[in-house]
A = this chain, B = another copy of it.
Amino acid sequence: METSSQPKQVVIIGAGFGGLRVSRVLAKANVQVTLVDKHNYHLFQPLLYQVATAGLSVDDIAYSTRAIVKNRKNVIFRMGEMTGLDFDSKTVLLDSGTLSYDYLVLATGGATNYFGLSSVEKHGFSMKSLDEAVTIRNHILYQFEQAAFEKDPDKRRALLTFVVVGGGPTGVESAGALSELIYLVMNKEYPNLNFKEVRIILVEASDKLFAAMPEELREAAVETLIRKYVEVRLCVQVIDYDGNFLFLKGGEVIPTRTVIWAAGVKAAPILSQLPIERDAMDRAIVNEYLQMPDHPEVFVIGDSARFEANGRPLPMVAPVAIQQAECTGKNIIHALTGKEPIKYAYHDVGNMATIGRNAAVVHIGKVKLKGFFAWFIWSVVHILRLIDFRNRFVVFMKWIWDYLFYDRLVRIITRQ
């Protein structure tokens, strides 16, 4: 029987960095929280490229969402995909039923943005999900298995040419990790392949890598990649890809079987199906409290939200999602107790990215670091961010092993 003292229903869509953090802030509030995700795990996206390049196992960066929330007594996890939303009846539609809410948090995350290049979408690889990362790993390893017994030199070189598109952290980290996989590990195991035939090409449309970093660190990143035999191609735009040939603006053609697209992100597709105001990247326009302007009971955070600070939209990165989750959790508690909501204020926590062993760039406030010390900080920060002790420990041990023995042991092709 419903009484007025029954706790309010909070529905959170998405168990990424943002959604999970909201559930943590609300863990002791007088609300009933339902956390919904289409997967039953939380994915540690920043290390996804290490799954794609055979450094880590799937299980090292994915962690059961139920296990995370099991001690939060007012939080229930429900596996399901959001298919629609009725603002009037305050109901979320899932593929497996419906959920009523008093407060809704949309934290549905990001998706790959091909900017309309459907040929690349069809023949290239995206790296936003665990399945996609495993698909890339299987594909890369399989190119070598085919090349090892391919007698036609043109076909063989196309099999051994790997193009990464996008000069942001994901593209640079992938290119660096790919180089180490190939030149430090695999070159010991294909006696009948000539590794001079391998090409790794990083393509970026603008004139810089790591656009958010200071120039000194950008230059260091380029130098490190070149030392790792990565061809860095700036000011080059991809216009077409048919699975065998990559066409660049200006007429250049690269024969390659592997194009990894890390050149753009946008909000997850579900947002574009809702009757809401969005920006060009499909992100919902939110007010200063991260609410939908016409529906203050609906909050949007992380990659799903467009929020401007200092006249520029915030980047689609984990720290923003976590900060916005903290703010949203508090604002739901404020709403329950009749307090005024607080405005979200962005705090820049800096940027870091690794290019490979002993090589990273770190930019926090006025601190700029590169080389071994930056790499060490990057490693510690990422280990600490991993969600539970065992994942931390296994990842730590694997990194130590790979570092000492120049090895990558997650090199199995699981699907064909």
Contact = CB atoms under 8 A, between A and B. Distances in A.
A60 to B, nearest CB: 8
Interface stretch (A141-149, A274-282, A328-336): A141-149
Nearest to A64: B411
Contacts of A131: 414-415
A40 B411 contact: yes
Interface residues of A, number: 48
B70 A188 contact: yes
Contact of A192 (B63, B76, B97): B76
A142 B39 CA distance: 10
Interface in A188-214: 188-192
A339 B401 CA distance: 45
B59 A410 contact: yes
Given A57-B58, A414-B130, A409 B64 contact: yes
A41 to B, nearest CB: 4
Contacts of A192: 76
Nearest to A134: B414
Copies in the complex: 2
Given A39-B412, A97-B149, 12 more contacts: A40-B145, A40-B413, A59-B409, A59-B412, A96-B146, A130-B412, A130-B414, A134-B414, A390-B397, A390-B401, A390-B407, A394-B394
A384 interface: no
A270 interface: no
Interface of A: 39-41, 57-60, 62-64, 66-67, 70, 76, 78-79, 96-97, 130-131, 134, 141-142, 145-146, 148-149, 188-192, 388, 390-391, 393-394, 397-398, 401, 407, 409-415
A64 B188 contact: no
Given A58-B414, A149-B78, A149-B96, A40 B390 contact: no
Contacts of A189: 64, 66-67, 70
A40 B148 contact: no
A96 B145 CA distance: 11
A413 B141 contact: no
Contacts of A149: 78, 96-97
